[in-house]
Chains A and B, each alone.
Chain A
Amino acid sequence: MKSAFNRSIFAFAAILAVGTAGQAAAQDKPLKKYESGTKEFWTHPPDDWFLGDETEAQKGLAPPSGPPTGASEAELASLVKKIKLPPGFKIEVYAPGVLAARQMAWGDKGTLFVGSFGLGNVYAIKDNGGKKEVKTIIKGMNPPMPTGIAFKDGALYVINVNKLIRYDNAEDNLDKLGDGKVVYDDMPSYAAHGWKYLAADKDGWFYIPFGPPFNIGIPPTSVSQIRRVDPKTGNAELVGLGVRNSVGGDVDPRTGKYWFTENARDWMSDDTPSDKLNIISKVGEHFGYPYCHQGDMPDPKFAMGHTCSEFTPPVLNLGAHVAPLGMKFYTGNQFPAEYKNSILIAEHGSWNRHKYQGGRIVRVTADPDGKNAKETTFAEGWIEGAQGYLGRPDDIILDKDGSILVADDWAGAIYRISYSK
């Protein structure tokens, strides 16, 4: 198990970008192909598991590696000047030095908690007379994937692949958080796509996504699903099926229904299939993976006789390789009135595409039942050139004053976006 986690770290957190010799050599290699439908593959994925089912067209593409220490304050200052926003909006750096920052959650007393990807850190950010103090309150988690966090009834919750851990009275114990208490662990330890996200509903249950441990294949029955979990009792229900890699979702303030983003399979082409925004309207809905993508595209190998009409279509196709991650309904009062109940989605951006796209924040408006969904770009400018990242947005949270905070795991920073007339 340990080595499987290590592989995953290697694959995503510290991909070793090698020199041009490596690239030249890649041209002569045969296409990669995996038999990923075995337990051996799930528990011991090869280092390059995400390169599975390579195609001639996409050959040679791989996840890029960010700067080990994120962006410096000088780099961030120049970065935010390049971000384009609608009139009246402003972006600034809220906190630098939040390496590999992922999901954010507010404590009741104003502490911003932030998870991380690949580093095993959880951070607490306190306002110290206008200056943001970033404290690493959990270090060296194994596996190092505490990507999903939440805060409820004074407790910090951290989900790390196969453990949901509760740290009681967290804000008063930032310097001595302790080991916490595992409150739910009926989850497989598969590292690949095993990183998760937490979204609480009004009953205090968490929606939790489970990704398949590969690109495409018949998934283990314990994953490719959304569960709803009660952290008090450890009770859980299976609410969505046929889901690939989801790392973001939010409960609709209008209806209480769960909406979530989903990353579609790789290695088909630059422009297909599209990543999705979905809504769970009834318990146990099937969203198509691995049989059908983007609502209308049967998988060339894994459709296996199924047609797309058997599955719940997306609310909206967001585009291929945009990598939608964290999302929030806008419920604040600071932004213009038409933003109320819009969905803001942080797009992490491409790797399996020749010209990167995503790497921005989009705004989606839709009726409570998902009809009439429309997408507009809200914030962009994190991509330079065909394959250059300045940063990669991955989560959004509202601040008390109605501004939003955006986490970026490439630049290792939190931004604040605010509006004034």
Chain B
Amino acid sequence: MRNLLFTLSFVTTLATAMPVNAADVAAGKAKAELCAGCHGENGISQMENIPSLAGQPDQFIQWQLVFFRGGARKSEQMQPIVEQIDNEDIRNFGAYFASLTPPKATKPDDDPDLSQKGAQAAVGRRCASCHTDTFAGTKAVARLAGQREEYLLKALHDYKAGVRSGGGVAAMADVAYPLSEEEITALAHYLSHL
């Protein structure tokens, strides 16, 4: 728990370890009609509590789908979807959503003070050590920049309550557990306006 944020900086990147990416962006796009109803056209969600997927790292998308399918991450909405997709689909979704232009905040920041508090909280909790300095995410770690504010709130609350599992849950459970409501509010506001 104490050291969890250091963990990731020790993890060696093994670019050479991955086989040549044979995923098919076009096939992912075609199949992504399944997703667009909730996650929006071009992977930008217009729906409350539904995350945008555009610009999420390829591996992050793939892992989450694998976790939904295997039951490690539970969601009533996602369950019937993942039952319809195979590994090839998952690889193609990863490639497709990663290829899309990430979301940008649509409105100007209406509370810069809150954003500043969020930025401080992000430094204090060392979010960037996994999510990268621009919060664009990398590999299996999610993009946070430009994500819907109320979804970020939901995700942080789910982690804090131990409701969400799958993937980086250990790190996030430990990070979110001590967060105050004020910090959560500030972080969500700050990250969604990046």
The residues of A with any CB-CB pair to B shorter than 8 Å are: 2-3, 6-11, 14-23, 25-26, 29, 32, 44, 46-48, 51, 60-62, 64-72, 74-75, 79, 97, 99, 119-121, 136, 139-140, 144, 384-390, 412
CB-based contact B13/A47 at 8 Å: no
- Distance, CA A27 to CA B126, complexed state (A): 17
Which of A32, A67, A70, A119 has its CB near the most chain B CB atoms (within 10 A)?
A67
The answer, among B6, B22, B139, for a CB contact under 8 Å with A75, is B22
CB-based contact A23/B16 at 8 Å: no
CB-based contact A29/B71 at 8 Å: no
Closest to A54 in B: B10
- Distance, CA A390 to CA B16, complexed state (A): 10
Q: List 12 A-B contacts (CB under 8 A).
A: A6-B165, A6-B170, A10-B168, A16-B141, A62-B11, A65-B14, A66-B17, A69-B90, A72-B88, A139-B71, A140-B72, A144-B70
12 new A-B contacts at CB < 8 Å, known A21-B132, A75-B19: A17-B11, A17-B14, A18-B8, A18-B138, A26-B10, A47-B4, A62-B12, A70-B87, A72-B88, A75-B20, A99-B87, A144-B70
- Distance, CA A389 to CA B18, complexed state (A): 7
From 99 to 114 in chain B, residues with beta carbon under 8 angstroms from any chain A beta carbon are none
The answer, among B7, B74, B86, for a CB contact under 8 Å with A47, is B7
- Distance, CA A7 to CA B173, complexed state (A): 9
Which stretch from B27-35, B45-53, B58-66, B144-152 is at the chain A interface?
Answer: B58-66
- Distance, CA A6 to CA B8, complexed state (A): 16
- Distance, CA A62 to CA B14, complexed state (A): 10
8 nearest CB pairs, A to B: A140-B71, A10-B170, A68-B62, A388-B16, A7-B170, A69-B87, A48-B7, A22-B9
The answer, among A21, A46, A74, A97, for a CB contact under 8 Å with B4, is A46
**Known: A25-B129, A46-B2, A69-B91. Contact between A19 and B140, CB under 8 A?**
no
Q: Closest CB of chain B to A132's CB: distance in Å?
A: 14
Question: Cβ of B162 < 8 Å from any Cβ of A?
Answer: yes
**Known: A67-B18, A119-B66, A121-B70. Contact between A44 and B1, CB under 8 A?**
yes
The residues of B with any CB-CB pair to A shorter than 8 Å are: 1-4, 6-14, 16-20, 22, 59, 62-63, 65-66, 70-72, 74, 86-88, 90-91, 94, 129-130, 132-133, 138-141, 162, 165, 167-171, 173-174
CB-based contact A120/B20 at 8 Å: no
- Distance, CA A25 to CA B3, complexed state (A): 14
Closest to A385 in B: B16
CB-based contact A387/B66 at 8 Å: no
**Known: A14-B140, A21-B132. Contact between A61 and B12, CB under 8 A?**
yes
The answer, among A21, A47, A70, A387, for a CB contact under 8 Å with B14, is A387
- Distance, CA A52 to CA B1, complexed state (A): 14
- Residues of chain B within 8 A (CB-CB) of A20 are 13
- Residues of chain A within 8 A (CB-CB) of B88 are 72
- Distance, CA A385 to CA B18, complexed state (A): 12
The answer, among A44, A48, A65, for a CB contact under 8 Å with B140, is A65
**Known: A47-B4, A144-B72. Contact between A18 and B11, CB under 8 A?**
yes
CB-based contact A51/B72 at 8 Å: no
CB-based contact A23/B72 at 8 Å: no
Closest to B170 in A: A10
CB-based contact A22/B13 at 8 Å: yes
- Distance, CA A9 to CA B151, complexed state (A): 24
Closest to A67 in B: B18
Q: Closest CB of chain B to A112's CB: distance in Å?
A: 19
- Residues of chain B within 8 A (CB-CB) of A25 are 9, 129
- Distance, CA A16 to CA B165, complexed state (A): 15
CB-based contact B63/A14 at 8 Å: yes
- Residues of chain A within 8 A (CB-CB) of B20 are 75
- Residues of chain A within 8 A (CB-CB) of B168 are 10, 14, 16
- Residues of chain A within 8 A (CB-CB) of B94 are 68
- Distance, CA A64 to CA B70, complexed state (A): 21
CB-based contact B91/A120 at 8 Å: no
Closest to A141 in B: B71
- Distance, CA A18 to CA B138, complexed state (A): 6
- Distance, CA A325 to CA B7, complexed state (A): 26
- Residues of chain A within 8 A (CB-CB) of B167 are 10, 14, 16
